[in-house]
């Protein structure tokens, strides 16, 4: 079976078979698809992570995404795994790790908007509001003909502040 044929099966699964109301059934169907790939296949691990993530099973999704990275995930899925892992980390309260991961990713060229969108959310969660808004605006600017220069200037003028970290003094959060 070719990679393209398997990818079509994955697409069909999400279009016609994935059912949030039946998590076990959805996972089982994805396991069947993953079993068509070699043991430890990075793409299969990524897709297993994706189905767990879609069902709100973040802990298992994070493990599977990390396994997919360790297995050498390549191509479009390699970009997607970092975005999806960072998004899931943000959802479980690890937004600092999500920011670090997304900021260290190489630029994705023309398809940079997804990374920037999730980075903006993680920056916001970290209290870096100016950085979050700047990142979101920079993702939008290429689509806004006639306003690019002014919006780029406004984005650059946003504050680059980091939320002060909370500290504990004599057992009290300050």
Q: To which residue do tokens 């793409």 refer? A: 43
User: pLDDT tens digits for 120-151?
Assistant: 999 999 999 999 999 999 889 888 888 888 99
How distant, in Å, are the alpha carbons of 28, 30, 65, 123, 133 from that of 51? 10, 7, 11, 26, 30
Q: What is the pTM of this model?
A: 0.84
User: pLDDT tens digits for 38-62?
Assistant: 999 999 999 999 999 999 999 999 9
Q: How far is CA 166 from the centre of its chain?
A: 27
């Amino acid at each position: 079976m070719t990679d393209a044929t398997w990818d079509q099966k994955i697409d069909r699964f999400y279009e016609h078979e994935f059912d949030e109301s039946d998590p076990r059934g959805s996972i089982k169907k994805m396991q069947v698809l993953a079993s068509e790939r070699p043991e430890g296949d990075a793409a299969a691990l990524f897709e297993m992570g994706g189905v767990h993530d879609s069902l709100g099973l973040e802990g298992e999704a994070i493990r599977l995404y990390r396994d997919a990275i360790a297995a050498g995930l390549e191509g479009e899925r390699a970009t997607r795994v970092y975005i999806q892992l960072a998004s899931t980390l943000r959802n479980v309260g690890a937004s600092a790790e999500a920011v670090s991961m997304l900021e260290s990713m190489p630029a994705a060229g023309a398809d940079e908007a997804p990374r920037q969108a999730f980075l903006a959310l993680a920056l916001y969660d970290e209290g870096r509001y100016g950085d979050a808004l700047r990142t979101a605006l920079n993702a939008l600017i290429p689509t806004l003909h006639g306003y690019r220069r002014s919006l780029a200037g406004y984005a650059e003028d946003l504050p680059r502040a980091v939320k002060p970290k909370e500290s504990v003094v004599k057992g009290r959060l300050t």
